[in-house]
Amino acid sequence: MAVELDKAVVREKIARRAEQEIESGYYVNLGIGMPTMVANYIQEDKQVVLQSENGLLGIGRSPYEEEVDPDLINAGKETVTASVGAAYCSSAESFAMIRGEHLDLAILGGMEVSEQGDLANWMIPGKMIKGMGGAMDIVHGAKKIVIIMDHVNKHGEPKILKQCQLPLTGQGVVDRIITDRAVIDVTETGLELIEVSEGWTVEEIKQSTEAELHVHPNVWEASF
């Protein structure tokens, strides 16, 4: 089994792998939490526009201390920078972009994903939440949905399930899952393991996944 890594190291590892999903020319939405870290690792030679549903088209990297502007935030209320050529708009216009299917990719966090590609990521019953957020629109508006999350929860229980137990954000919306242990595609025939993180084995990934996993014949081991 892989050596237990510091949480910050794990999050960076996942964010760096998620960056590989972004292609030059893409319009991308990064969800609240860990997905926002992806902005810090986008390669300089990629021409990418990051969109936030609260009204900023052209999000840049996280600000250094001297750059912090409390009025410039993303949908998760984290301070951000604006890239050259950025545009500000109302939330209504931002959601028109989303609902009009103008986003090439959305990278979102997840609490649970099912083997059918169902996603639960907006609430846990009984816990206080700020609101529904924009994920329910994003999962239906973006052309590709990538979920990044820990492979198991804090109790060591699988988060990739046969059926989601938490309230759904969307049904059959997930295209790819990236965790600290693996990369898994949602296909018409079920979940397919395509990459295994360094230090883990295919068998260990299967054991920590409740849903059935098909293993790609050319699965990449120790690839990230």
47 pLDDT band, cuts 50/70/90, is very high
C-beta of residue 137 within 8 angstroms of C-beta of residue 169? no
* Domain contains 78: no
From the candidates 19, 21, 53, 115, give the one annotated as an active-site residue: 53
C-alpha closest to that of 161 among 120, 215, 211, 110: 211
pLDDT at 161: 98
pLDDT at 205: 97
Mean pLDDT within 151-174: 97
Model confidence at 27: pLDDT above 80: yes
What's the half-sphere exposure (Cβ side, CA atoms, 13 Å) at 169? Answer: 29
* Domain contains 134: yes
* Domain contains 143: yes
E-assigned strands of the chain? 27-30, 49-52, 56-59, 82-88, 105-109, 112-114, 119-120, 145-148, 160-161, 176-178, 182-187, 190-196, 213-221
Mean pLDDT within 10-18: 96
pLDDT at 2: 59
* Domain contains 190: yes
* Domain contains 52: no
* Domain contains 120: yes
C-alpha closest to that of 75 among 130, 21, 142: 130
pLDDT at 129: 75
C-alpha closest to that of 183 among 135, 157, 218, 140: 218
Question: For residue range 66-105, what is the model confidence (pLDDT) as tens digits?
Answer: 999 999 999 888 999 999 999 999 999 999 999 999 999 9
Domain that holds residue 170: 7-38+103-221
pLDDT at 3: 54
Strands 190-196 and 182-187: antiparallel
pLDDT at 114: 98
* Domain contains 47: no
219 pLDDT band, cuts 50/70/90, is very high
pLDDT at 221: 81
- Residue 163 φ/ψ region, left for φ over 0, alpha for ψ in the -120 to 50 degree band, beta for the rest: beta
Mean pLDDT within 211-219: 96
* Domain contains 162: yes
pLDDT at 220: 85
pLDDT at 76: 84
Model confidence at 151: pLDDT above 90: yes
Percentage of the chain modeled with pLDDT above 90: 86
C-beta of residue 106 within 8 angstroms of C-beta of residue 170? no
CATH number of the domain residue 34 falls in: 3.40.1080.10
185 pLDDT band, cuts 50/70/90, is very high
Percentage of the chain modeled with pLDDT above 70: 98
Model confidence at 1: pLDDT above 80: no
Number of domains in the chain: 1
> Looking at the DSSP assignment, which residues form a beta bridge with residue 59?
82
Is 53 part of the annotated catalytic residue set?
yes
